[in-house]
Amino acid sequence: MELRKRIKWLFWSTFTFLSLAVGLFATIVLIQVKPAIFEAYLVDPANWRAKNIRMDLPKGERGKLIKYGHKLVSETPKWMGPDSDDDVLKFTGNHLSCTNCHLEGGTKRGAAAWIGISQRFPQFKGRENRNVTLKDRVNGCMERSMNGKKLPEESTQMEAIIAYMDWLSEGVPEEISQQYTGFPEIAIPNVKADLVKGKEIYTVECQTCHGEDGAGIKTANNSTYQFPPLWGQDTYNHGAGMNRVLTAAQFIKGNMPFGQATYEQPKLSDEEAFHVAAYINSFSRPVKQFTEQDFPDLVLKPVSTPYGPWADDFSEEQHKYGPFPPIISYYKDKHGITKKK
Ligand code: HEC
Ligand code: HEC
């Protein structure tokens, strides 16, 4: 009896010890092979900082791919746009770079940053009425903000952009990811946007950089834009998120005038951002085909989407310039949906 007890004890203690050892070993191996899984838990939000393309690149092939991704998003016309040497790579249709809107390489808070973005996708999107992947979302901006063509899913260019975003997202604590998502909110004014006020604000706050005709300003050797165009044929098309007055107002609040406004310290009031957003979006721009197919469930369409059809009887004019609160109330009362853009 005594001996059997001892053997049993010996068996269980050996078993427990071995299990612990194997568990520990597996964790160590995982930390080496896939550090991203753990970083999100290990990094204290207070000590977190965004990755820096000059200092933090990993070595080897992965580092090269990330660096290429960074070039694609920050010098877009040259590497996958109209100025590319290779016709196959002329994917975008205007001279914007992704980072003209996703500022500081997609790391600026309040400018739809890509920090933590890899963890936020796949995600349900009303525009497609299905779960979309991060690649789908990149192609959303390719076809609209960049007025171009989709990047093939398996192309090196798509892989590089995703590698760059994955790298920016690695080990980002949830709390930080939320802080960096999207644009600042605005209190939506209960008035129709006033284009006369918008023009006044534009003249004082925007014109020196973006030009009186909104066509932007090129660099001295005329190769790229120093200041990107806001309207006309060389910028985002009418199906782009920036062409919604409320989305543009949010972006402007947190980021423009450039060098003065930040997420933490905007310069324009919410109402000023709203009027000037309407002003820049009142001009003509490239037209995206088949936008009537966007938002298969029309109830999910943002109220400031300026093109129809809509699931309501408000006019096209009101969907473009507001006042938006009555449309927002309609969806809240009839469908129980709270819309912010
Ligand atoms: C003209 C401005 C503009 C440009 C240029 C632009 N984007 Fe965007 N992007 C937006 C806006 C606005 C949104 C948010 C849209 C919304 O609220 O529906 C967005 C959203 C995104 C998102 C999703 C962000 C999130 O947190 O869900 C990704 C990813 C993205 N863009 C990638 C790109 C890439 C890659 C490029 C270049 C190929 C690019 N964008 C160029 C304006 C732009
Ligand atoms: C000091 C120069 C400057 C001023 C003033 C300025 N911007 Fe910009 N703006 C920029 C630059 C530079 C970018 C691109 C940012 C980047 O690439 O990092 C930009 C980007 C933009 C974009 C997104 C890209 C595009 O071409 O659509 C919009 C929209 C915009 N600005 C609107 C405005 C509005 C509205 C104002 C006035 C309230 C304004 N800006 C004032 C320099 C300026």
pLDDT tens for each residue of 144-203: 999 999 999 999 999 999 999 999 999 999 999 999 999 999 999 999 999 999 999 999
- The CA distance from 309 to 154, in Å, is 34
Q: What is the mean pLDDT of residues 281-286?
A: 98
Q: 12 near 18, Cβ under 8 Å?
A: no
- The CA distance from 209 to 201, in Å, is 13
pLDDT at 204 over 60: yes
Q: Which residue lies with its CA nearest to atom 17 of ligand 1?
A: 241
Q: What is the DSSP letter of 95?
A: S
Angle at 253 (CA atoms; ends 248, 257), nearest 5 degrees: 100
pLDDT (0 to 100) of residue 40: 57
- E strand residue ranges, the chain: 123-125, 130-132, 217-218, 225-227
Angle at 80 (CA atoms; ends 74, 84), nearest 5 degrees: 110
pLDDT at 42 over 70: no
Q: Which position has the higher pLDDT, 219 or 238? A: 238
**Nearest bound ligand to CA 261?**
2
Amino acid at 182: G
Residue 244: CB atoms within 10 Å: 21
- The CA distance from 222 to 48, in Å, is 39
Instruction: Give tens-digit pLDDT for 55-92.
Output: 999 999 999 999 999 999 999 999 999 999 999 999 99
- The CA distance from 290 to 128, in Å, is 13
Q: Which residues line ligand 2 (CB under 6 A)?
A: 96, 99-101, 103, 205-206, 208-210, 227-230, 235-236, 242, 248, 252, 256-259, 268, 276, 280
Worst-scoring range by mean pLDDT, 113-127, 187-201, 218-232, 267-281?
218-232
- Max alpha carbon distance in the chain (Å)? 97
pLDDT (0 to 100) of residue 45: 85
Phi, psi of 221 (to 5 degrees): -85, 10
Q: Mean pLDDT score of the chain, rounded to an integer?
A: 94
Calculate the CA 72 to chain-centre distance.
15
Residue 58: CB atoms within 10 Å: 14
